[in-house]
């Protein structure tokens, strides 16, 4: 149990979640607002799309990659779902998910086979997908006229949940099961931890990469589809915000920047933390800039922990202070035998 708590991939999300929940419970009364079950519901509604994005992005980060295009797939998924799901909501979701999977598979293939780093590929795909989404809708939001589905995705279940948030939770549970109970989990972490060693050890890196991006595309598209049902419209340009929040959530979820570390339940905690924080900001009418500065601060802390150069600088400082103290000790000893060619034979 103790080991569980000392590993960063469990410690960081645990601490984040505990701190945020504390803030969630304490802050509103302090500012005079009331904390209701509706607020929890709202927070979980915010969590619903964010969680899926975080999960998708998070697993690519565990493997040492970075899927910038999740927001593009998110927007496209929403648009496809609205276009094709006017009469049958299920069909819309299926179409969106299929598109997301296809896009992910293509990207995964490019990254694996051509050995291109994921950043430029996913950046380019992001731009293209935004364009595609906008082209599909003529640049405008597209309305979704299926009130049945719109109502259903957001109806309250057990007071604070909704089908959307439950689907997200189910995705996390599925991911935890798959990564925890099958060899895929360790292979992903191996690929992220040391790709060369994994290949030598016999891991099928390429296959894993393709599967990985396919899953992240699928999850992003699903998130977008459900969200557009909820809003009864598909927005062709959600901006970079969803991506940025997903990155924050993933980092708070214990994922390392260089890969090899991370757990689905950690990502869950990270996404919940960000969703709760957003809700707290809304409840307490925290000014925009304060929330932004808060996120900035959190990221800086995470960065500081992970920056290798910082550790080296600290090493140097420690070495210098050690040298200084030993120099003082030497001076008081009056050792004095400076070498002129003799070697330090023991």
Partner 1 sequence: MTTENDHRSDAAHSGPAPLPSSGQVGGPTAPGTRRTGATEPAHGSSSLRVGQIGLLEVIIAAVVVAVVITGATTSRFFSLDNARAILASAATVGITAVGATLIMIVGSAVSLAIAQTATVAAMVFLSTQQLGLGVAIVLAVLAGLGLTAVQGAAVGYWSANPIVLTIASGFAVGGLATWISGGSTIYPKVKAYSSLNATPLGVPVAVYVLAGVALVAQWVLRRTTAGRQMYLIGENSAAARAAGLPVGRVTAVAWALFGVCIAVSGIFLASFNMSATSSLSGTLTLDATAAVLVGGTAIAGGKGSALRTLCGVVLIALISDLLLLRGFSTGQQLLVKGILVLFVVIVVHLSSSRGRR
Partner 2 sequence: MTGSVNTEPKSVARAAISDLSRSFAGIPAVRDVSFEVQAGEIHAICGHNGAGKSTVVKMLSGQLAPDSGEIRIDGAPVELHSRQTAQRLGVALVDQELSVVPALTVLDNMLLGDLAAPVINRRRGAVARCREVLDDIGLDHIQPGQPLSSLSIGERQLVEVARALNQNARLVILDEPTATLSDRESQRVFAGVRRVVARGCSVVYVSHRLSEVLELCDTVTVLRDGMLIATTPAKELTVDQLIRQMLGEAPRRLAAARAPDSNPTHALRIESLHVPDRLDDFTLTAQAGRIYALAGQLGSGTTDVLRALVGLHPQATGRVELRDRAVPFRDPVRATAAGIAFVSNDRKSEGLFLGATVAANLIATRLPTLGRAGVISGRRARQAARTLAELSGLGDRRVAEPVLALSGGNQQKVFVGRCLGRDDVFALLLDEPTRGVDVGGRAAIHQLLRDAADAGMIVLFSSTELDELLELGDVIIPMRAGRVVGRYEGGVDGAVLLRDMTHGEDAA
Q: What angle do CA 172, 175, 176 make, to 5 degrees?
A: 85
d(CA 72, CA 83): 16
Residue 127 site contact among partner 1, partner 2, none (CB < 5 to 8 Å, cut-off depends on kind): partner 1
171 binds partner 1 (CB under 8 A): no
How near is the Cβ of 183 to partner 1 at its closest, in Å?
A: 19
Alpha helices in 232-307 (DSSP H): 241-252, 264-283, 288-306
Q: 53 CB contacts (<8 Å, ≥6 apart)?
A: 70, 71, 74, 219, 220, 223, 242, 243, 245, 246
64 binds partner 1 (CB under 8 A): yes
Burial of 338 (0-12, 13-18, 19+ CB in 10 A): exposed
Please give the backbone phi and psi of residue 47, each rounded to the nearest 5 degrees, phi first: -65, -30
Give which of 338, 306, 300, 327 is closest to 61, Cα–Cα.
306
Nearer to partner 2, 65 or 187 (CB): 187
Residue 340 site contact among partner 2, partner 1, none (CB < 5 to 8 Å, cut-off depends on kind): partner 2
How near is the Cβ of 279 to partner 1 at its closest, in Å?
A: 18
Q: Is the dihedral of CA 248, 249, 252, 258 positive or negative?
A: negative
Among 1, 2, 6, 289, binds partner 1 (CB under 8 A): 289
What binding mask, one character per residue, do residues 306-335 give for partner 1 by CB under 8 A, x or -?
xxxxx--x----------------------
How near is the Cβ of 253 to partner 1 at its closest, in Å?
A: 14
Residue 119 site contact among partner 1, partner 2, none (CB < 5 to 8 Å, cut-off depends on kind): partner 1
207 binds partner 2 (CB under 8 A): no
Both tokens assigned to 73: 């797939």
Rg (alpha carbons) of the chain, rounded to whole number: 24
1 binds partner 2 (CB under 8 A): no
187 binds partner 2 (CB under 8 A): yes
3-state secondary structure 196-244: HHHHHHCCCHHHHHHHHHHHHHHHHHHHHHHHHHHHCEECCCCCCHHHH
Within residues 294-333, the interface with partner 2 by CB under 8 A covers 312-313, 315-316, 318-320, 322-323, 326-327
d(CA 295, CA 307): 18
Binding site for partner 1 (CB under 8 A): 61, 64-66, 110, 114-121, 123-139, 192-197, 199-200, 236, 240, 244, 247-248, 251, 257-260, 287-293, 295-296, 299-300, 302-303, 306-310, 313
Binding site for partner 2 (CB under 8 A): 3, 7, 181-184, 186-187, 189-190, 192-194, 196-198, 200-203, 259-261, 312-313, 315-316, 318-320, 322-323, 326-327, 338-346
């Amino acid at each position: 149990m103790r080991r569980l708590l000392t590993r960063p991939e469990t410690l960081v999300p645990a601490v984040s979640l505990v701190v945020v929940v504390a803030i969630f419970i304490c802050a509103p009364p302090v500012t005079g607002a009331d904390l209701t079950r509706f607020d929890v519901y709202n927070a979980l509604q915010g969590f619903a799309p964010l969680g899926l994005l975080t999960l998708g992005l998070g697993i690519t980060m565990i493997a040492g990659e970075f899927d910038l295009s999740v927001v593009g797939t998110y927007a496209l998924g929403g648009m496809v779902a609205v276009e094709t799901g006017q009469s049958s909501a299920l069909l819309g979701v299926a179409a969106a998910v299929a598109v997301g999977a296809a896009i992910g598979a293509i990207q995964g293939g490019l990254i694996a086979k051509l050995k291109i780093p994921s950043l430029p590929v996913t950046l380019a795909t992001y731009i293209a997908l935004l364009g595609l989404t906008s082209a599909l809708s003529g640049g405008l939001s597209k309305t979704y006229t299926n009130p049945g589905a719109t109502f259903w995705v957001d109806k309250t279940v057990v007071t604070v949940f909704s089908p959307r948030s439950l689907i997200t939770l189910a995705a996390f549970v599925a991911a935890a099961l798959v990564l925890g109970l099958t060899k895929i989990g360790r292979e992903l972490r191996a690929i992220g931890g040391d790709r060369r060693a994994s290949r030598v050890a016999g891991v099928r890196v390429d296959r894993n990469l393709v599967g990985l991006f396919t899953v992240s595309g699928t999850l992003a598209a699903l998130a977008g589809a459900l969200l557009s049902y909820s809003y009864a419209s598909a927005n062709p340009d959600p901006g970079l915000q969803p991506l940025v929040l997903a990155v924050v959530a993933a980092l708070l979820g214990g994922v390392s920047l260089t890969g090899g570390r991370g757990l689905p339940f950690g990502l869950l905690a990270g996404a919940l933390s960000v969703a709760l924080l957003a809700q707290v900001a809304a409840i307490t009418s925290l000014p925009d800039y304060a929330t932004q500065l808060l996120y900035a601060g959190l990221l800086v802390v995470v960065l500081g922990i992970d920056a290798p150069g910082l550790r080296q600088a600290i090493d140097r400082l420690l070495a210098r202070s050690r040298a200084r103290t030993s120099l003082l000790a030497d001076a008081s000893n009056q050792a004095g035998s400076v070498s002129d060619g003799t070697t330090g034979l023991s």
